[in-house]
């Protein structure tokens, strides 16, 4: 095959850095809305006094609805993206999604300064969450397919960036809480941050095609098909010219008989028809069907679905209602630190260490067994000091117990998610890597949606 065969180098790790930023940008919407739950609850769950007692006028269950309305469009539009990627160019899907996400973040920042009745604010916020996660699903699915064309370590880098998005949002919230500014100004500054982050993500994506290392991998499949098709056309032309000139397969050997080695078949007029050798025809390989790819990656698809089902069933709908035993200034920071910051830092660390440690191996039966064992974290977190509660007792009231459980919960989540997503493209041929990436993104979204739906009954059981 013609064309370049030497692989260029990723100079200064620029492609790695860009995919890290792209991974961070895909989860900025979800993490910034989730981490800002205290701001939204402050605007929604207003209280009034009745006989000297503060009573919440209306309970909106913001965390449950936010989780559900974040993950349902993620599931639906990830499925839709499997059809869109054949009809809409990658640049439109990725670049267009980032532009709309930026506009929706700007709208959210503006609404901080706009007085609004609670029901209307809730409706506008839920609509914003729906649309911003719809574009986020198209963005994430497209980028998973894109990074699947590069060596495996770039998938780990991409998911490491996704893991850092939560830490980025948690630190931004901590800075907003710690600032001396009033609540509106602090919230405005908080929501301006993802606007800047989304802009940086957009510019990084626009830079990617200009880098030689990225061009080599992203254009390799199409170039391969173009080169092999060109060679086959030339060979066909040569064979047909040979027939016309009366040589090169123009006569029938051994009295017109043809054995297994013959490159053609006898026609009714006694001349031999030219066909391409089998090994040459197979060089242009068609992509496998979705069903064939699924048969190879179904274990990893199950694993990523189960991991996110367990994670989203209790985080953040249950964990955000855990209360500290130490009231005072620490109470303002408790959820931001022990729930969001710990979860996101450990999740990011779990994703990152897969660059050096890949255990168990993708063929091991221990891998899905360990994934299923994470279900133990559901009762453990429900038995922490979640308030208010109606049915279950509190077995782990101390802040340290909650923090340790959250560390193990999030570390295992990030580790197994990243391994599942990284292993899947290795189980298929390179030509099917993009299909495998799209399938895994769908099942990732399915796990998020199932977990979000389960968060309603699990929170009620507490």
Task: Walk me through the domains of the chain, giving residue ranges and CATH numbers.
Answer: 16-221+292-461 (1.20.1250.20)
* pLDDT over threshold 50, residue 269: no
- Where residue 398 falls among pLDDT bands split at 50, 70, 90? very high
HSE, side-chain direction, 13 A CA sphere, residue 36: 32
Cβ count within 10 A of residue 402 = 25
Rounded Cα distance between 302 and 293, Å, is 14
β pairing state of 264-266 and 47-50: unpaired
pLDDT attached to residue 85: 64
Average pLDDT over residues 208-219: 84
Q: Which of 23-32, 103-112, 239-248 has the highest mean pLDDT?
A: 103-112
For position 244, what pLDDT does the model report? 39
What pLDDT sits at residue 245? 44
pLDDT higher than 70, residue 8 = yes
In a 10 Å sphere around its CB, with 0-12 CB exposed, 13-18 middle and 19+ buried, how is residue 453 labelled?
Answer: middle
pLDDT above 60 for 72: yes
Confidence (pLDDT) at 162: 83
pTM: predicted TM-score of the whole model, two decimal places: 0.74
What tens digit of pLDDT does each residue of 361-375 get? 999 999 999 999 999
Mean pLDDT of 429-451: 85
pLDDT level of residue 243 (50, 70, 90 thresholds)? very low
pLDDT for position 232: 44
Question: Pick the residue with more confidence: 46 or 204?
Answer: 204
Q: Tokens 């298929």 correspond to what residue?
A: 428
């Amino acid at each position: 095959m013609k064309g370049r065969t030497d692989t260029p180098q990723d100079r200064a790790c620029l492609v790695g850095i860009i995919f890290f930023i792209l991974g961070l940008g895909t989860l900025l919407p979800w993490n910034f809305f989730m981490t800002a739950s205290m701001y939204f609850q402050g605007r929604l769950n207003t209280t009034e006094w009745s006989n000297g007692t503060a009573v919440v006028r209306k309970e909106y269950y913001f965390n449950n609805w936010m989780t559900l309305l974040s993950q349902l469009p993620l599931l639906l539009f990830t499925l839709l993206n499997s059809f869109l990627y054949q009809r809409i160019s990658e640049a439109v899907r990725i670049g267009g999604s980032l532009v709309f996400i930026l506009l929706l973040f700007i709208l959210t920042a503006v609404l901080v300064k706009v007085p609004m009745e609670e029901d209307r604010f809730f409706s506008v916020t839920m609509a914003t969450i729906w649309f911003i996660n719809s574009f986020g699903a198209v963005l994430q699915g497209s980028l998973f397919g894109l990074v699947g064309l590069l060596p495996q370590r770039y998938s780990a880098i991409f998911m490491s960036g996704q893991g850092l998005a939560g830490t980025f949002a948690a630190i931004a919230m901590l800075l907003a809480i710690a600032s001396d500014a009033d609540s509106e100004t602090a919230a405005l500054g908080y929501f301006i941050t993802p606007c800047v982050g989304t802009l940086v993500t957009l510019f990084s994506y626009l830079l990617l095609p200009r880098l030689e290392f990225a061009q080599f991998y992203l254009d390799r499949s199409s170039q391969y098909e173009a080169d092999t098709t060109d060679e086959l056309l030339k060979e066909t032309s040569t064979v047909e010219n040979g027939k016309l000139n009366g040589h090169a397969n123009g006569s029938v050997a051994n009295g017109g008989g043809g054995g297994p080695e013959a490159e053609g078949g006898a026609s009714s007029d006694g001349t031999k028809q030219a066909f391409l050798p089998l090994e040459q025809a197979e060089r242009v390989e068609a992509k496998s069907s979705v069903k064939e790819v699924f048969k190879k990656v179904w274990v990893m698809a199950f694993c990523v679905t189960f991991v996110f089902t367990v994670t989203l069933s209790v985080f953040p709908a249950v964990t955000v209602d855990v209360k500290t035993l130490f009231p005072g200034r620490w109470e303002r920071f408790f959820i931001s630190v022990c729930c969001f910051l710990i979860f996101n830092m450990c999740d990011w660390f779990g994703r990152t260490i897969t660059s050096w440690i890949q255990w168990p191996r993708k063929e091991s039966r221990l891998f899905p067994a360990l994934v299923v064992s994470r279900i133990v974290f559901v009762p453990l977190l429900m038995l922490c000091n979640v308030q208010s509660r109606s049915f279950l007792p509190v077995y782990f009231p101390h802040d340290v117990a909650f923090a340790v459980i959250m560390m193990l919960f999030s570390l295992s989540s990030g580790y197994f998610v990243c391994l599942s997503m990284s292993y899947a493209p290795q189980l298929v041929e390179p030509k099917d890597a993009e299909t495998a990436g799209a399938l895994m993104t769908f099942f990732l979204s399915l796990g998020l949606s199932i977990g979000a739906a389960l968060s309603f009954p699990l929170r009620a059981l507490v």
